[in-house]
A = this chain, B = another copy of it.
Amino acid sequence: MTVNKPKVVILGAGYAGLKTAVDLQKKLGINEAAITLVNKNSYHYESTWLHEAAAGTLHHDKMCVDIKSLLNSKVTFVQDTVTDIKKDEQKVILENGELEYDYLVVSLGFESETFGIKGLKEHAFSIANINACREIREHMEYMFSKYRTEQRDELLTIVVGGAGFTGIEFLGELGNRIPQLCEEYAVPREKVRLICVEAAPMVLPGFDSDLVEYAVAHLEKKGVEFKIGTAIKECTPEGIVVAKGEEVEEIKAATVVWAAGVRGSSLVEKAGFNAVRGRVMVTGDLRLPEDDKVFIIGDCAAIMNPENDRPYPPTAQIALQEAEVCAKNVAVLVRGKGEMTEFKFDNKGTVCSLGHDDAMGVVFGKKIYGWKASFMKKVIDNRSLFLLGGAGLVMKKGKFKVF
């Protein structure tokens, strides 16, 4: 071991951080750098599948991967929680220690953003991580079981705040899950209300209107009521208060799931980086403008889309592509030679699932619907696994039972 080999520290083992670690351990020799990956949990989870864990349609074991199983001896894994980043001292503070770095990769992922709506933090769930999703799953089931003894209709009312990607995919899973719960608890399906509340005037911004219509029609057939252009004013222990223009309505609901806002990790702001809602406008090679030792990738990075002059939405696809470039650039810095690569997003498309058997979206510029889209969604999910853990991981955790 060389004493003075550069120290590379990667924070977070989501798509971005884990892919960076996996790529670096392939690129760099054991004597070239000391690579450390820090993550709160011992496992990585497929965060794009969380809505399935929350609905209870896919068990979280199927979406969690033991991080160590994907690393070789070149990467040291530290299971700990990051509490601060001191960039002037080139050091990361953990709950149980601290780490020095020469190069830092910040890939700390997203948090739920409630925009200061009253009571939301206290009384609504959010599809934020494995623990939160397991609680949503159990909460809904508990409410069904309670209905059999208390007979209060609001126990069977589920409000989803937000008709964006996460909200719609979650509703799609609920469309499959609710009939199972109705059977288990002998509840008539018509007693269950699934309400989607969206403040914006449209469902799924960014998708073409025929794709949106397809999704809405599918979900309405599954019993979803849409309240569009309707803002949640308050969340209480009893439900929500919404307003559409002047009209204010109270909806009693035992389950409220907030799926309308994400932001980058608040640690990014705590560290003093120049960020808006936890997202930093990075340089072309994915670094912090004010500190060239620090890379920021994944949900904490903002990269402008030249086509519409807005930042790309944070997705797994862009995170994985950023990680590839980040790993290349870290290797250049570690070796002190080579050219830095500029990041350019190659949008292969987006598919929005509507339950396990339907979906819609755009792939390679082409619109697809129904079983073809559902099949493509699973191909995309399996591709993420492949990029992180190769064919072995796809075999273990992949989605194959397509039809």
Contact = CB atoms under 8 A, between A and B. Distances in A.
A139 interface: yes
A185 interface: yes
Contacts of A131: 145, 148-149
A142 interface: yes
Contact of A145 (B137, B144, B184): B137
A142 B135 CA distance: 7
Contact of A142 (B138, B149, B185): B138
Interface residues of A, number: 16
Nearest to A183: B61
A146 B148 CA distance: 22
A377 to B, nearest CB: 27
Nearest to A185: B134
A251 interface: no
A267 interface: no
A82 B158 CA distance: 34
B149 A145 contact: no
Interface in A108-133: 131-132
Contacts of A144: 138
Contacts of A169: none
Contacts of A145: 131, 134-135, 137-139
A282 to B, nearest CB: 32
A141 interface: yes
Nearest to A125: B149
Interface in A132-163: 132, 134-135, 137-139, 141-142, 144-146, 148-149
A32 to B, nearest CB: 36
A135 B144 CA distance: 8
A137 B142 CA distance: 9
A318 to B, nearest CB: 28
Nearest to A184: B134
Contacts of A185: 134
A79 to B, nearest CB: 13
Contact of A135 (B139, B148, B184): B148
A371 B144 CA distance: 37
Contact of A141 (B138, B149, B184): B138
Minimum-distance CB pairs A-B, first 10: A138-B145, A131-B148, A142-B142, A135-B145, A138-B142, A134-B145, A131-B149, A138-B141, A135-B149, A135-B146
Given A138-B144, A138-B146, 15 more contacts: A131-B148, A131-B149, A134-B148, A134-B185, A135-B145, A135-B149, A137-B145, A138-B138, A138-B141, A138-B142, A138-B145, A139-B142, A139-B145, A141-B141, A141-B142
